[in-house]
Amino acid sequence: MINLISDTVTKPTPGMLQAMMEAEVGDDVFGEDPTVNALEAKVAALFNKEAAIFCPSGTMTNQIAIKVHTQPLDEVICDEYSHIYQYEVGGYAYNSGVAINLLKGTHGKITATQIEAAIKPEFDWLPRTRLVVLENTCNKGGGSYYTLDEIRPISKLCWNRGLALHLDGARIFNALAETGETTHAVGEQFDSISLCLSKGLGAPVGSVLIGSEAFIKQARRVRKVMGGGMRQAGYLAAAGIYALDHQVERLKEDNERAKQIGAVLEAMPCVSEVRPVQTNILIFDVNPPYTAASFLEKLAGKGIQASPFGPQTVRFVTHLDFTEEMLDRVVEALKDME
Ligand SMILES: *Cc1c(COP(=O)(O)O)cnc(C)c1O
């Protein structure tokens, strides 16, 4: 089967497994795992931030960030498509006791003008606007990305209005593969950044949260209370280091393959509204009599798995284990779907 369900389905490469086997480890709850410490230092330096913390998942890194940036009765501003709103079990309310102010952006992207209009005045009866969260690339937005020119007015607004700015950068490297912008330049714009090692980067487990020394110090306490303190986690961190050293450059290929599939979908009479293909995620609608379910069933019959994203909506995600040869097979299978 060809698996286009998500870029989380990848298995460690032989080189990555070797690096994991050879990792030097210790007890990370005591701060004594040299490989975890090396990963944290590496990611912090990459984005020119003071400190970083390795966590089991991107949900945890986002939830820790919200918790550390806010107090109960505060409010978070984000796009309605945001992962923190859609796919984290309402954790902002559960973990942090905060409200959420959803904006209707364009393919998951919001502007400084929209955010400024959404900031609440200070009254006892209103939640206090405290945090803005951007997602780059935006998953539910079809892999759309922000450029630095789009981000800068937002960071400036946040600084001027005393708001924290967090980046859900689960797939930030897919965005940078397109823009050619640097990690340092991205780091400058945000108070904190969460990035996933287990998506396009191809590691089996893990996400990293980066920010100031003081922010990460508090994040360590919150990670512990969420049950995210791991012991010989260096075996996992080693996979992350390997991914950053060897599997960032190739993300361009994933983006490119998605664009090629997008071009085929555009030409199919049974497909409409292919969201602009910007990185490695494709979201499109299928026309009746197809439903997402019947379209996916037919595809499965041709050896291709993908996920439903609504009654008529389908999502494909390209990744490390999706090869050029598989691309040819997918293109052929799609051309065969009437
Ligand atoms: C996958 C993802 C996360 C984190 O997910 P986990 O499965 O908890 O690691 C966060 N944000 C976005 C945009 C994602 O796609």
Cβ 196 under 6 angstroms from ligand 1: yes
Tokens encoding 64: 């820790």
Distance in Å, CA 83 to ligand 1 centroid: 7
Tokens encoding 61: 């890194």
Cβ 191 under 6 angstroms from ligand 1: no
Q: What is the Rg, in whole angstroms, of the alpha carbon atoms belonging to the chain?
A: 20
pTM > 0.85: yes
Q: How many CA atoms lie within 13 A of 198 on its CB side?
A: 17
Alpha-carbon distance of 79 to 97, in angstroms, equals 19
Cβ 280 under 6 angstroms from ligand 1: no
Distance in Å, CA 133 to ligand 1 centroid: 14
Cβ 195 under 6 angstroms from ligand 1: no
CA distances (Å), origin 84, targets 5, 60, 90, 142: 20, 10, 8, 16
| Residue ranges of the chain whose pLDDT lies below 50 | none
Are the CB atoms for 315 and 296 separated by under 8 Å? no
Alpha-carbon distance of 278 to 177, in angstroms, equals 10
Distance in Å, CA 172 to ligand 1 centroid: 12
Alpha-carbon distance of 283 to 139, in angstroms, equals 9
| pLDDT tens-digit series, residues 233-257 | 999 999 999 999 999 999 999 999 9
pLDDT of residue 263: 97
* CATH-assigned architecture of domain 14-246: 3-Layer(aba) Sandwich (3.40)
pLDDT of residue 338: 75
Cβ 254 under 6 angstroms from ligand 1: no
> Which ligand 1 atom sits nearest the alpha carbon of residue 59?
8
Strands (E), the chain: 2-3, 51-55, 74-79, 99-103, 128-135, 164-168, 192-196, 207-211, 271-272, 281-286, 304-305, 307-308, 313-317
> Which ligand 1 atom sits nearest the alpha carbon of residue 60?
8
User: Could you tell me which of 77, 49, 51 has the C-alpha nearest to residue 165?
Assistant: 77
Helix, strand, coil fractions of the chain, as percent rounded to 5: 45, 20, 40
| pLDDT tens-digit series, residues 128-137 | 999 999 999 9
Distance in Å, CA 170 to ligand 1 centroid: 6
Distance in Å, CA 337 to ligand 1 centroid: 31
Domain locations along the chain? 14-246, 250-335
Distance in Å, CA 288 to ligand 1 centroid: 31
| CA 41 from centroid of its chain's CA atoms | 21
Are the CB atoms for 136 and 148 separated by under 8 Å? no
Q: Which superfamily, per CATH, for 250-335?
A: Aspartate Aminotransferase, domain 1 (3.90.1150.10)
Count Cβ atoms within 10 A of the Cβ of residue 297 and give its class: 0-12 exposed, 13-18 middle, 19 or more buried. exposed
pLDDT of residue 138: 98
Cβ 170 under 6 angstroms from ligand 1: yes
pLDDT of residue 215: 98
pLDDT of residue 256: 98
User: Could you tell me which of 306, 298, 303 has the C-alpha nearest to residue 282?
Assistant: 306
> Which ligand 1 atom sits nearest the alpha carbon of residue 199?
1
User: Could you tell me which of 58, 83, 85 has the C-alpha nearest to residue 195?
Assistant: 58
